[in-house]
Amino acid sequence: MDILVFGAGSLGSLVGGLLARTHDVTLVGRDPHIAAVRRDGLRITGVETLDVSPAATTDATGASADLAVVAVKAYDTETAATVLANGDYDAVLSLQNGMGNEDVLAAHVDAPVLAGTATCGARLADPGHVEWTGRGTITLGPWRPADDAEAAERVAAAFRAADLPTEVAADMRRRLWEKLAINAAINPVTALARVANGALAEPGPLADLARAAAVETATVARADGVDLADETAKDAVATVARETARNRSSMHRDVTRGRRTEIDAINGYVVDRARATGASAPINRTLAALIRGWETGAGVSTPEHE
């Protein structure tokens, strides 16, 4: 399969690199990473060590492929969708954090849109080098059209052919909300407290706050028509915090590096849906306000949150 990975950061580079063992893959990202991949190939270390040679570019305007995998930050989805709209793809798969990305893609591209989640651990160590920090699985399913199981099965088969464990699910909206509960709990709390994920696996005020944010997210999910139980959300947070104990969350890394976060698509999305459904989300609102306040102070906020 001819696959374009739009967003060659840590996860995009890992997934693209693993797919490149079997398929024709093009990574789309920024220099100096892309320049290093183009010159020397992509090195993957950690869980396994391998060297692959995907194509690499900083400009995907007018490109075409059997599949486009979108792995950009949520705030870059609109830009990615605009570029992809000028190309030709049989399917587009989002493997991103937060909620709302699939709807943005569906509004622009003339192709089936798939929603996906990935539990693989990855860290961009150096230009041309991604560290594979944890095995995981990819779960994907149809988003638009909602009943396009054929496209989902075709993509899943291609991923499995490259030894990437992949499941097709019909309930991706519920699964995205569960992932959102995990991110809404772990990301801002670890970023604000400057702790690794494992700190939330230990009894204490940080774990209590994370659980409360997850339960509140589940409450908003149910108000939005998605059956996500409080215990399911709490258990998911505890499992991820325990299994990724040594990892720093993506939002923690963004704050440490002085970069804009994905708060709008995570806790901000919970707050927006709470407002739209008449639910209450004071914990998510507070966490979003604190991260947005940090962004303003760091000079990386968007104009509407300055």
Which amino acid is residue 303, in one-letter code?
A: P
Set 179, 252, 273, 292: catalytic member? 179
Helix (H) or strand (E) holding 8: none
What is the biggest distance separating any 2 CA atoms in the chain, rounded to whole angstroms? 54
User: Token pair of 34, please?
Assistant: 């892309």
Q: Is 12 exposed, middle or buried (0-12, 13-18, 19+ CB in 10 A)?
A: buried
Task: Tell me the three-class secondary structure of 90-105, residue by residue.
Answer: EEEEECCCCCCHHHHH
Write the CA distances from 114 to 25, 45, 128, 178, 297, integer angstroms. 18, 29, 28, 17, 36
Please give the structure tokens belonging to residue 154.
């075709």
**Of 117, 104, 145, nearest to 15 (Cα)?**
117
179 flagged as catalytic: yes
Cα separation, 195 vs 100, whole angstroms: 28
Active site residues: 179
